[in-house]
Homo-oligomer: A and B are copies of this chain.
């Protein structure tokens, strides 16, 4: 996304107002490479501006996404992550801590894919999953329980098959 200053101009150009809440979020997002969730941003924003509404954070994020200044990434069932880097790129996600980093793939050859018959593909998302250095070193466990172990009722008196 563009710098807070440029966004300010862009917003005004569209008849949108420049509120302190928006300016704060512009600043928190600009150059932010952590791919934060809406809630992470809300909590960070709350530190600087106690009382800001979670709703306002969602609204501003939606606005920025609609304007093409921010990219919304959905990896998995959890919460959406936001990325100020709107250039064409992909991601690696740590299955243990959720850390997410940019990955640049030279050139995705859609051509080498079989089964796209009839579809007019407009975007391609690649998500690499694994564990980051830190989580591996600390032995933090991968989420996927050891399959059969967790399913066997005799293994542990399961309350439910959650």
Contact = CB atoms under 8 A, between A and B. Distances in A.
Interface string A131-148: 111001000001001011
A127 B74 CA distance: 11
A118 interface: yes
Classify chain A's interface size: 35 or more
A121 B113 contact: no
The 3 closest A-B pairs by CB, nearest first: A118-B133, A121-B130, A103-B115
Given A124-B127, A129-B123, A15 B147 contact: no
Contacts of A92: 115-116, 119, 121
Interface stretch (A24-32, A43-51, A75-83): A75-83
